[in-house]
A and B are shown apart, each in its own frame.
Chain A
Amino acid sequence: MKDGVESLLSRIKTALGNDPRREPAERNYRDLMPPAGGSGEDRIELFAKNVTALSGAFMSFGSLDEAVERLKKMAIDMKWKKVACHGQGNAFKAAQSLGLEVLNTDGGYAKLDLENCDAGITECDALVAQTGSVLVTARNAGGRGLSVLPPHHVVLAESSQLVSDLSEAFEVLENKYGSNYSSSMSFITGPSRTADIEQQLVLGAHGPKKLTILMF
Chain B
Amino acid sequence: MTRNAVEFRKSSEKSSLDGKQQGLLAKAVGIYLGKRDSGRKRFRDWEGARRQAEAIKTEALENLDMYLSRFIEKVKERGGTVFCAEDESSARDYIANLAVERGVKSVVKSKSMTTEEIHLNGALENKGIKVLETDLGEFIVQLLGQTPYHIVFPAVHLSKGEVSDLFHEKLGSEKTDDIEGLTMIAREHLRKEYCKADMGISGANFAVAETGMISITENEGNARLTMGLPKIHVAVVGIEKILPRMADLALFLQVLPTMGTGHWMSCYNTLVGGPRAKDEIDGPEEFHVVLLDNGRSKLLADKESREALRCIRCGGCLNVCPVYQTVGGHSYGTVYPGPIGAVLTPLLRGLKQWGHLSYASSLCEACTEICPVRIGLHKRLLSNRRNYADKYGPLAEKLGFKVFAFVSRRPLLWRMAGALASAGQFLYPLVGWFPGNPVKGWTKGRTLPHITWKSFRNMWADRGGKSI
Contacts and interface: CB of A to CB of B under 8 A. Distances in A.
Contact of B250 (A112, A142, A165, A190): A165
A16 B239 CA distance: 14
Contacts of B300: 12, 15-16
A24 B250 contact: no
Interface in B327-357: none
A171 B253 CA distance: 15
Contacts of B42: 34-35
A9 interface: yes
B62 A189 contact: no
Nearest to A3: B83
A149 interface: yes
Interface stretch (A89-97, A154-162, A192-200): A192-200
Main secondary structure of the interface of A (DSSP, over half): loop
Contact of B85 (A4, A15, A132, A207): A4
Interface in B239-272: 239, 244, 246-251, 253-254, 261, 264-272
Contact of A143 (B160, B281, B293): B281
A33 B49 CA distance: 7
A14 B63 CA distance: 12
A8 B49 contact: no
Contact of B297 (A11, A32, A139, A195): A11
A202 B221 CA distance: 13
B267 A3 contact: no
A111 B224 CA distance: 14
Secondary structure type dominating chain B contacts:
helix
A158 B272 CA distance: 25
Interface in B268-290: 268-277, 279-283, 287
A198 B28 contact: yes
B239 A197 contact: no
A14 B300 CA distance: 9
A181 interface: yes
A5 B72 contact: yes
B140 interface: yes
Interface stretch (B118-126, B176-184, B447-455): B176-184
B372 interface: no
Contact of A4 (B55, B86, B249): B86
B316 to A, nearest CB: 16
B267 A189 contact: yes
Contact of A131 (B163, B183, B254): B254
Contact of B275 (A22, A143, A174, A183): A183
A190 B221 CA distance: 11
Interface string B135-165: 1110010000000000001111011100100
Contacts of A34: 42-44, 254, 264
Contacts of A80: none
Contacts of A189: 265-269
B106 to A, nearest CB: 14
A175 B191 CA distance: 36
Nearest to A111: B195
Contacts of A204: 183-184, 187
B242 to A, nearest CB: 11
Given A166-B249, A197-B163, A197-B179, A22 B58 contact: yes
B377 interface: no
B99 interface: no
B136 A115 contact: no
Contacts of B135: 196
B48 A29 contact: yes
B280 A181 contact: no
B129 interface: no
A206 B264 contact: no
A37 interface: no
B109 to A, nearest CB: 13
B282 A192 contact: no
B153 A196 contact: yes
Contact of A193 (B45, B58, B140, B219): B219
Interface residues of A, number: 87
B52 A206 contact: no
Contacts of A82: none
A139 B298 contact: no
B64 interface: yes
B56 A27 contact: yes
Nearest to A184: B272
A120 interface: no
Contacts of B45: 31-32
Given A108-B281, A184-B228, A186-B268, A192 B72 contact: no
Contacts of B182: 197
Interface string A105-119: 110110110010000
Closest 10 A/B residue pairs (Cβ): A207-B221, A144-B228, A143-B281, A4-B84, A205-B220, A25-B55, A196-B137, A15-B301, A166-B250, A8-B84
Interface of A: 1, 3-5, 7-9, 11-17, 19, 21-35, 50, 54, 86, 105-106, 108-109, 111-112, 115, 131-133, 138-139, 142-146, 148-149, 165-167, 169-171, 173-174, 179, 181-200, 202, 204-208
30 contacts: A1-B97, A8-B297, A9-B69, A11-B86, A11-B293, A11-B297, A15-B297, A23-B59, A24-B59, A25-B59, A27-B248, A109-B281, A111-B195, A145-B229, A146-B281, A148-B228, A166-B249, A170-B246, A184-B227, A186-B269, A186-B270, A189-B265, A192-B220, A195-B219, A196-B137, A197-B155, A197-B160, A199-B28, A205-B186, A206-B191
Interface of B: 24, 27-28, 31-32, 42-46, 48-49, 52, 55-56, 58-59, 62-66, 68-69, 72, 78, 81-86, 90, 94, 97, 134-137, 140, 153-156, 158-160, 163, 179-180, 182-184, 186-187, 190-191, 194-195, 211, 213, 219-222, 224-225, 227-229, 239, 244, 246-251, 253-254, 261, 264-277, 279-283, 287, 291, 293, 297-298, 300-301
Given A19-B62, A33-B44, A131-B265, 15 more contacts: A5-B69, A11-B86, A28-B52, A29-B49, A30-B250, A33-B43, A34-B42, A54-B267, A111-B229, A144-B227, A170-B246, A183-B78, A183-B283, A205-B220, A208-B221
